[in-house]
Chain A
Amino acid sequence: MRMRSSRSRRAGAMTAVVSAVAMLGAACGSSSSASTRGVTSSTITIGATVPLTGPAAPGYSEIAPAVNAVFKWVNAHGGVYGRKIHYIYLDDAYNPSTTVTKVRQLVLQDKILAEVGGLGTPPQTAVQGYLNTQKVPQLFVESGCTCWSDAKYPYSFGWQPNYTVEGKILGQYIKQHFAGEKVGYLFQADDFGEGFVKGLDQEIPASQVVSRQSYDAATLAGPLSNQIAALKSAGAQVVAMATIPAATALALLPAASIGYFPQYVVSSVGADPPTVGPLLSSFSKGKAGSVLLNGMISNAYLPPEADTGNPWIQVTQKLLKQYDVGAPLDGNTEFGVALGYTFVQALQTAGKHLTTSSLMDAIEKHGADFITPGLVPLTYSTTDHYGYSGSEVVKTENGATAPVSPVYVTSNTGPITLYTGTPSQPPSNLASTA
């Protein structure tokens, strides 16, 4: 069943980058006449705003410390070309006007080189214009909005697959495996849900869709009983969901309560078993728990956390254990480590003379060669700022996910194609020293 173990290594551009990684500790920060904002001969200052408190904090507050774990590891091994990474992540409580203020603080007071890993569509679109006019790169935004790849905003870069791409890949799976069955949608009434539905609709015939239910994240206070009741009475046999983890749980609970067990197909955003499982433990005195997740279909662009044989998972575990003490290995922390690692790759590729433009060049020209835990390569180019543009379909059994499809790549409107490359391996120094 473990498809990825049969694949051989992606050798191509890897060697060059590995040697760059090897130089991590070796290079000493000497001459760089750093006039670039945020860069000195011995430090690189970057920042981000993320929700650490408030309704969006559960789960998402784990990401930034995990990103920072990678930087701490790099710093402990001499930094990148002798420069230590100083990562300032501030709480915006998911409130865009707070983001606006805090990002100005990062740019004007802390003089960051770039924002790395700012979280959420509404908060980050609120500062997209500002960061771009200030020519401060807005890197690897933690959101699957299609807005990060926009010629109007050349300094913005997405990272995770956008929601439409996710919807298409899962939509194709539904079309292929549940042909003729009645399909219902349950989605968050915002950019996330609507983007995902756009992808589903490209693949699933409209006649097959019997109900479209949505919920509002701002007023999510209890079980989504009404939506579930509507899906059940419409006879939906497959329920495709674009839900955050809390909403996934608040949908599965009332469904189980009325004995409604459709085939769930859930966006990677809300399907992480270690995150959703504990939320379900309330079902009949904690006994059922993650049993409700059994059989759930989702998509993944990073290796499954439960796959402890995967070298990237091993490395991630080690990094977290040492540099993000007490943090669990779940979808959020795995995401953070992978994202932090992507940025380190960008810094290494940008080279010794780090400037905003060398950093941008590194991502645009060499981003596709970065070694990251992703199952597909990053798509960055001068015209494409999306990031990962594909995923595999996975199924959850006993709290762990395993692939049930090959890896696909696609774009917002293009065809879905099989990815024929091979997954990358962590560079040996990362695997051994972490």
Chain B
Amino acid sequence: MAAARLPSRLRLPDQPMLRHLVLCAGALVLFYVLTVNLSSYHNYQVGLIALFAMVIAGLSVLTGINGQISLGHGAFMAVGAYTFALVQEHVTLPLALELLAAVAASAVLGLVVGIPATRLRGPYLAGMTLILALGLPQLADKYNSVFGGDEGLHPSQLVAPGAVDPNRWFAWITVLVAVIVVALLANLVRSHFGRAMRAVRDNEVAAMLAGIHVGRTKVLAFVVSAGCAGLAGAFLALSGGVVTTGDFPLSLSIYLVAAMVLGGAGSLVGPWWGAIAIVYLPQWSTSISSDFGLGSAVAANLALVIFGLVLIIVMMLAPTGVQGGVRWLARRLLAARFPRPPAAAGVTAVAGFPEPPAPATPDMRTEQERTHP
């Protein structure tokens, strides 16, 4: 390593594209080291974390950057998963194309939902997406000759080359794709389109005056976000080798939003924290409550209690999510070590992808409220 030649302060390239590449390479190396040291089961969980990171990252862009809320991303995941399984059932394609088909199908649904969504604000959009998350998977129940009913569809799982543990292989592929997705999103967020999304979030009228096509921007944000969810859905299908309606209960959609806010809305590192929470929090809650020596049935309910408490406590103590907390901590630590004006570079080096400075939350107010405060 050339660490010795680095200046005392870590410095990343200023050019965003290059900086993202460096960070991604770093993340991949980190994940590689992690996966070769973990057991098969933990590798599987790393894969799950990566797939949830994809959908939550898309949600983070939609909500944090563009200010639209969706309580229906489980439905987009379902569309991706079923498309992936159906494509695999009927035609033989390389994995990459099957995944792309899943992305395409959910992106199309994103378009269909995104167009009426342009007129809706906060809770109205939330209501529409929520009922969609409940209703859409039911279609698969209704037409069970196509979608396999209770037993679902059974896409084949990844075949690991040689002696590689299949779960490790799953983790590698999923992490690789997730890192690429996040890198693409990071570039998107820094691009002209990203600025447009933020402008629309902050003030639609001003954005319009600045020549931004508000409707198109919002629809496109929805399409991108839905595509990410579809990809994650395909990986969910791949992870278990099965797709059924029960995989996409309403609670999944709400968990995704909770995980997104928990990680830090608008951030692209935050989704990883959120994904870790989705995968590990129920397990931790269960093992903590089992330690009380109660019966499993009571312990399972106590696990819910702990899960709920953690959500509440994190939201109260770290309003900007875990990533916000991490950044705050990093800033404190760096400030102690390098007492100089708060230059962002050091923070970014620790925290990962650069962030938009504005508070990353959707505006739940109505048009009139915003234009006539």
Does A touch B (CB under 8 Å) in the complex?
yes
Tell me what chain A mostly uses at the interface: helix, strand, loop, or mixed.
helix
B149 touches which of A91, A129, A190 (Cβ 8 Å): A190
Report the Cα distance A221→B144, complex, angstroms.
Answer: 22
B-chain residues with CB within 8 Å of residue A247 when the two chains form the complex: none
Query: Which stretch from A75-83, A94-102, A286-294, A386-394 is at the chain B interface?
Result: A94-102
Q: Is A24 an interface residue (CB 8 A)?
A: no
B-chain residues with CB within 8 Å of residue A96 when the two chains form the complex: 152, 240, 242, 244, 246-247
Near B by CB (< 8 A), chain A positions 288-347 give none
B-chain residues with CB within 8 Å of residue A122 when the two chains form the complex: 150-152, 244-246
Residues of A within 8 A of B (CB): 52-53, 61-62, 64-65, 89-91, 94-98, 100-101, 104-105, 108-109, 121-123, 125-127, 129-130, 145, 147, 189-192, 194, 216, 218-219
| A222 nearest CB across to chain B (Å) | 15
Most central of B167, B240, B286 by chain A CB within 10 Å:
B240
Report the Cα distance A219→B282, complex, angstroms.
Answer: 25
Instruction: Map CB proximity to A onto B284-300 as digits: 1 under 8 Å, 0 otherwise.
Output: 00100000000111001
Report the Cα distance A108→B141, complex, angstroms.
Answer: 32
Give 9 nearest A-B pairs by CB, closest first: A52-B300, A100-B240, A108-B41, A191-B150, A91-B300, A97-B247, A122-B246, A125-B151, A126-B242
| A98 nearest CB across to chain B (Å) | 8
Instruction: Map CB proximity to A onto B242-253 as digits: 1 under 8 Å, 0 otherwise.
Output: 101111010000
Q: A126-B244, A129-B154, A130-B240 are in contact. Are A53 and B41 (CB under 8 A)?
A: no
Q: A97-B236, A121-B150, A190-B149 are in contact. Are A216 and B41 (CB under 8 A)?
A: no
**A101 in contact with B242 (CB, 8 Å):** no
Most central of A109, A126, A191 by chain B CB within 10 Å:
A126
A-chain residues with CB within 8 Å of residue B279 when the two chains form the complex: 101
Q: A91-B296, A96-B242 are in contact. Are A147 and B151 (CB under 8 A)?
A: yes
Which range holds the interface residue count of chain B? 35 or more
> Quick one: closest A residue to B241, CB to CB?
A129
**A126 in contact with B141 (CB, 8 Å):** no
Report the Cα distance A61→B241, complex, angstroms.
Answer: 27
> Quick one: closest A residue to B236, CB to CB?
A97
Extra inter-chain contacts (15) besides given A90-B296, A94-B246, A191-B151, CB under 8 Å: A53-B303, A65-B296, A98-B282, A101-B45, A104-B167, A108-B39, A108-B167, A121-B150, A122-B245, A125-B151, A125-B152, A145-B151, A189-B142, A190-B150, A194-B149
Most central of B150, B249, B295 by chain A CB within 10 Å:
B150
**A61 in contact with B297 (CB, 8 Å):** yes
Q: A65-B295, A96-B242, A101-B48 are in contact. Are A189 and B141 (CB under 8 A)?
A: yes
Q: Is B318 an interface residue (CB 8 A)?
A: no
> Quick one: closest A residue to B240, CB to CB?
A100
| A110 nearest CB across to chain B (Å) | 9
**B304 in contact with A53 (CB, 8 Å):** yes
| A320 nearest CB across to chain B (Å) | 13
**A108 in contact with B242 (CB, 8 Å):** no
**B141 in contact with A190 (CB, 8 Å):** yes
Report the Cα distance A257→B137, complex, angstroms.
Answer: 33
Most central of A62, A64, A108 by chain B CB within 10 Å:
A108
Q: Is B348 an interface residue (CB 8 A)?
A: no
Residue pairs across A and B with Cβ atoms less than 8 A apart, 17 shown, are A52-B301, A53-B300, A91-B286, A94-B246, A101-B45, A104-B41, A104-B44, A108-B41, A121-B150, A122-B150, A125-B151, A126-B240, A126-B247, A129-B241, A129-B242, A189-B142, A219-B138
